[in-house]
Amino acid sequence: MNTKKDKTASVDWGSVLRQASVPIMFIIICAICIPISGLSANMLINEIVTRMGRNSFLILSLLIPIMAGMGLNFGMTLGAMAAEIGLILGSDWQIIGIPGMVLAAIVSVPISVLLGIFCGRILNQAKGREMITSYIMSFFVNGIYQLVVLYLMGSIIPIKHTSIKLPRGYGIRNTVSLLGMRQKLDNLLAINIAGVKIPVLTFIIIGLLCLFIVWFRRTKLGQDMRAVGQDMEVARDAGINVERTRIISIVMSTVLAGIGMVIYLQNMGNIATYSAHSQIGMFCIAALLVGGASVDRASIGNVFLGVILFHTMFIVAPRAGAYITGDSMIGEYFRVFVSYAVITIALVMYETNKRRAKSVAGQQLQAAQDAEEAAGKEKA
């Protein structure tokens, strides 16, 4: 009896270690790089707190599609592009501060909904290949976005202010200043504790989203998404509209990503018009995976652990690279390489675990059939 318990405990510990392998690796990397970087504890904590406020809302937007079994939503960049359009229009209309942020979020919502419905319908035709499909979709929609901001804005879509237009008279400049709303959200109700600035209102908004996600999981729609994520055929037999539920999960993720991008860019203070959204999905997904999430399982705790570990590495890697090799670009290359590597490892582990689970299920089915045949022979 004790031997059986010991074996079970051993298997559980092995599973825990496999699931925690990426966070453990990043803890080791950070433990090595932090002393080498030479950053003071106060500066490091300040940077981590800033990045938590800047990125957490965006990463939380990834949880709902995972709940619905659609994996990592690389299509979150669709919402980011919608937010950028809202911010560009708000800048042209000279609406600054918190009202400008609210306006940008309002403008982004209908665009995000339309893009989310479009993306969700495509993904329903690519069941089992949602991640690669959403990744390609982000490139396709990026092409449409480039057409809108490079050619249509200023020619068909009225843009009054020359400060954001290209010299030719149409198209948007490579960088649009958001000086009028830079860190307005972060500074509102901000407090300073031991030299560390805490953006209280930003964290309250992030906390409200966390509460919403916890509440949403318990609703009828949230339970439907979880059922679809576990087994689409069983969910369909239970009367759940699988396709509609999947589309709703993508729409919600895209809308939340748009709002998260507004929070992100107000902290940055400018828009890199043609590139701000291009890497945002990759880095958010990498941060979530670093926090211990997987393709089919993620929690709010994974989000915050991932933000801390991933962005600690982002902060210290260039300085550590400069100290070791004399070239800070080594650290820059390393952190981009790690972002792609983490996603690759997660996808490989997901496929490996899926095949292992199918193999175990097949063996169990075969054992059950053999037992039935043996029982039938004994009766005969």
pLDDT tens for each residue of 33-85:
888 888 888 999 999 999 999 999 999 999 999 999 888 888 889 999 999 99
Q: Which residue has the higher pLDDT, 147 or 17?
A: 147
Provide the number of structural domains found in the chain: 1
**Spacing of C-alpha 221 from chain mean position:** 21
pLDDT at 4 over 80: no
Separation of alpha carbons 267 and 265, rounded Å: 5
pLDDT at 249 over 90: yes
Instruction: Using alpha carbons only, give the angle 57, 62, 65 rounded to the nearest 5 degrees.
Output: 145
| Residue 15 to residues 161, 196, 198, Cα–Cα distance (Å) | 58, 38, 37
- Closest to 22 in 3D by CA, of 284, 350, 283, 291: 291
Average pLDDT, the chain: 85
Which residues contact residue 227 at a Cβ distance below 8 angstroms, ignoring those fewer than 6 apart? Answer: 234, 235, 238, 240
Instruction: Using pLDDT thresholds of 50, 70 and 90, give the confidence band for residue 113.
Output: very high
State how beta strands 270-272 and 191-193 pair.
unpaired
Q: Which domain holds residue 151?
A: 2-379
Q: What is the DSSP letter of 153?
A: B
CATH number of residue 99's parent domain: 1.10.3470
Which residues contact residue 296 at a Cβ distance below 8 angstroms, ignoring those fewer than 6 apart? Answer: 66, 69, 71, 229, 350
Share of the chain above pLDDT 90, in %: 50
| SS3 assignment, position 202 | helix
Share of the chain above pLDDT 70, in %: 87
The confidence score (pLDDT) of residue 18 equals: 66
